[in-house]
Amino acid sequence: MSDLNTILFALNTLLFISIMVGLFVSWLREKLHDRDVRRRLKNLEGEMMTEETMTRVHSPALDALIGKKLPCLGNQGWIMLVDYLGDDSAIVQAARTSYGKGTKTVSEDEGLIRYLMRKRHTTPFEMCSLKLLVYVPMDAWRQWIRHRTAKINEYSTRYSLAIDEAAITNYKSWRLQSKRNKQGSSLPEGALSFPEAFDPEKASDYHRDAIGAGMTASEYLSVREHEFLKLAREIYEERIEFGIAREQARKDLPLSTFTLAYWKIDLHNLLHFLGLRRDAHAQKEIRDYAMVIGDQLVKPWVPYTWQAYLDYRENALYLTALDVMILQTVGYPSEAIVQARKLGWLELTKKGKLKRNRERTECEAKLERLNLPVPWRNDGEEA
């Protein structure tokens, strides 16, 4: 019995010792880990606190543009750069915080930025920002402020008199509503014509005489626009003279009235804004502003990022899984047609024509851009 107790005592002693050794090893490992973390943080802090990395970034190209109006809308509107933060180097610096010392040469900096853009990393691009003052018609501004990722402060027509200027449409610039896209428009092919329901006899003597003398439909619309804008402003100012509150007097001002706003946004969200508003399907007026922002501000500010954006976003081609399916069979037209039918892309109307299908239309556009034949077309005819 005494031998058994001795054995049990020895086993308990060994168990206790092993537990204590385990706890000591865990404690030692934690201490070593903490020391390693402190060492790494100290090294990183040393890198980040050097005089070179803490110097404010300056872009000579943007410094020269601060306070200058960049014309938009045929010199009617404008954009002014107020301030900026960071440049391509700030993006690389932020990425290196994640990767450690990382890249060091200019070529590696450009490669890193292209990698970040290609793999859709976002945080490093948020380290840069622009602050703009924009002078823009309210109809375009309505679309602009749908991008809720910016900081905005707009001129108030509740506290101040409305700006006495509105966007004017050149008589050659009236666009027709797209028959296929509710949001689309295009310039008319040839001269714009008066609608059948239009009766010049019901027009004023001035308009009737002008139409009789050869006034075109486009010129007529521009004349009427001028008259409407003049009347709207007269009514607004008349209400002000009567002492009507500005918040109520403004209610009938046209959407073409200009507004003024500060707009501050980081680079990541700015590129998203430009990706949507520089697209060919965006409304022309806001696209004019987006083109100026991209070409005259972002390009000289962050040239590596801008080129990567053009290569991987704006000028790139996005393929859906359905597009890939068609592309894999594009060399075999009959098989591609079978796949398109399975997708419901080739359904016919009662007249035997293809029904409208947006996905099919978009796929056709991608095939055409790649100089590939559309399998269900035969010499311009639909299959």
Q: How far is CA 142 from CA 100, 104, 169, 243, in A?
A: 43, 44, 18, 29
What is the C-alpha to C-alpha distance for residues 102 and 107, in angstroms, rounded to an integer? Answer: 13
CA proximity to 129, closest of 93, 91, 95, 96:
91
Q: Are 297 and 81 in contact (CB under 8 A)?
A: yes
Q: How many Cβ atoms are within 10 Å of 43's Cβ, its own excluded?
A: 12
What is the C-alpha to C-alpha distance for residues 291 and 284, in angstroms, rounded to an integer? Answer: 10
What is the C-alpha to C-alpha distance for residues 121 and 229, in angstroms, rounded to an integer? Answer: 47
Q: Are 255 and 139 in contact (CB under 8 A)?
A: yes
Estimate to the nearest angstrom the gap between the alpha carbon of 172 and the chain centroid: 29
DSSP designation for 316: S
Q: Which of 277, 278, 287, 360 is catalytic?
A: 277
- Please name the helix (run of DSSP H) or strand (run of DSSP E) that holds residue 258, with its range, or none: strand 258-266
CA proximity to 272, closest of 252, 254, 294:
294
Residue type for position 328 = Q
| Sign of CA pseudo-dihedral 262, 264, 269, 272 | positive
What is the C-alpha to C-alpha distance for residues 206 and 219, in angstroms, rounded to an integer? Answer: 13
What is the C-alpha to C-alpha distance for residues 84 and 254, in angstroms, rounded to an integer? Answer: 33
CA proximity to 357, closest of 340, 374, 333, 377:
340
Q: Are 139 and 118 in contact (CB under 8 A)?
A: no
Q: Are 173 and 165 in contact (CB under 8 A)?
A: no
Q: Based on the residue annotation, tell me whether 39 is a catalytic residue of this protein.
A: no
**What residues are labeled active site?**
277
